[in-house]
């Protein structure tokens, strides 16, 4: 059965409008909320949404504030908690529109951080989470920046140099470079809030994370170290947790040639927990 596509906007904290899209099945077996990564947008998950629809799941997606078609200063966030609270807005919407349906969250990269942090801040809201290439620790390359005061350089631009490392598929890389909704740069403050202060907060609270979770990572990820997922897996309080490292895959495991294998792994995991 064909999914129904809808678009809407939600007003989040600071009066920021979030762009939301829905791929709705008539009688979904489950609902998956997708949280995208740094500098990208929810539209890059069309293939994933189509596959989830084929599995019988409805899909809710949104552009993080300062990204894509959402409002807010480009590549900027005042406080990392805003990203987590924005995700709760979407969960609340999905819950209201899908009473008694199991809700799952899939977060990739920065979205993996948001999902994991959501799990700490908003326990008991979801049936489980899938975290893909999640920035769930302070990255070793950034660790030396912890404790620095970035207020004077808050809006200094950091170039988006991720494209060549996202996937082994040259078509994906080219599409990423040419996508007008992908940010060409982000701010020092977003880096410091999400990838330093936020990641440290998450690390300090790993033990309180208790959701059922499937933690996925590409073994050749050059953007977020696979050690992030290994550390998260080892330290969280979840009794139901699973870690899969895909040998040879780059950062965007959902955009690698092996993506169907990854999606089927997610499908099987959700089916056991819905």
**Ordered alpha helix ranges (H), the chain:** 46-54, 80-97, 110-121, 170-178, 188-190, 199-204, 226-235, 259-271
Q: Is the pLDDT of residue 269 over 90?
A: yes
Task: Kindly report, residue by residue over 168-186, the tens digit of the pLDDT.
Answer: 999 999 999 999 999 999 9
Residue 108 annotated to the active site: no
Residue 109 annotated to the active site: yes
**Which residues have C-beta within 8 Å of that of residue 214, sequence separation ≥ 6?**
128, 129, 130, 131, 242, 244, 265, 266, 269
Residues 193 and 84: their CA atoms lie apart, in Å, by 12
Among candidate residues 109, 167, 192, 229, the one labeled active-site is 109
**Which residues have C-beta within 8 Å of that of residue 234, sequence separation ≥ 6?**
none
Among candidate residues 41, 108, 221, 229, the one labeled active-site is 221
Taking the CB of residue 106, how many other CB atoms lie within 10 A of it? 27
Q: What is the band of 226 on the pLDDT scale with cuts at 50, 70, 90? A: very high
User: Is the sign of the CA dihedral 243, 244, 249, 254 positive or negative?
Assistant: negative
Residues 136 and 133: their CA atoms lie apart, in Å, by 9
Taking the CB of residue 272, how many other CB atoms lie within 10 A of it? 9
Assess contact for 152 and 38: CB atoms under 8 A.
no
Phi, psi of 216, rounded to the nearest 5 degrees: -120, 145
Q: What is the mean pLDDT of residues 4-11?
A: 98
pTM (global) more than 0.85? yes
Q: Which domains are seen in the chain, by residue range?
A: 4-271 (3.40.50.1820)
Assess contact for 254 and 132: CB atoms under 8 A.
yes
Task: Kindly report, residue by residue over 140-165, the tens digit of the pLDDT.
Answer: 999 999 988 998 999 999 999 989 99
Assess contact for 141 and 196: CB atoms under 8 A.
no
Q: Is the pLDDT of residue 107 over 80?
A: yes
């Amino acid at each position: 059965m064909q999914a129904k596509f809808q678009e809407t906007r939600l007003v989040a904290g600071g009066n920021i409008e979030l762009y939301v899209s829905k791929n709705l099945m008539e009688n979904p077996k489950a609902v998956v909320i997708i949280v995208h990564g740094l500098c990208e947008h929810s539209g890059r998950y069309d293939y994933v949404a189509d596959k989830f629809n084929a599995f019988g799941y409805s899909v809710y997606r949104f552009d993080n504030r300062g990204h894509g078609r959402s409002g807010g200063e480009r590549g900027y966030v005042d406080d990392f908690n805003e990203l987590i609270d924005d995700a709760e807005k979407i969960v609340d919407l999905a819950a209201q529109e899908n009473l008694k349906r199991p809700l799952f969250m899939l977060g990739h990269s920065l979205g993996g951080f948001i999902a994991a942090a959501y799990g700490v801040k908003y326990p008991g809201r979801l049936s489980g989470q899938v975290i893909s290439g999640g920035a769930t620790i302070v990255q070793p390359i950034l660790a030396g920046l912890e404790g620095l005061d970035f207020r004077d350089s808050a809006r200094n631009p950091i170039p988006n140099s991720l494209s060549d490392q996202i996937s082994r598929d040259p078509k994906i890389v080219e599409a990423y470079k040419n996508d007008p909704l992908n940010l060409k740069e982000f701010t020092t403050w977003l880096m410091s809030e999400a990838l330093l202060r936020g990641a440290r907060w998450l690390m300090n609270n790993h033990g309180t994370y208790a959701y059922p979770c499937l933690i996925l990572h590409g073994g050749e990820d050059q953007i977020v170290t696979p050690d992030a997922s290994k550390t998260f897996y080892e330290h969280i309080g979840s009794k139901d947790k699973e870690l899969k490292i895909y040998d040879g895959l780059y950062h965007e495991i959902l955009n690698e040639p092996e993506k169907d294998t990854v999606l089927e792994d997610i499908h099987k995991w959700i089916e056991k927990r819905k």
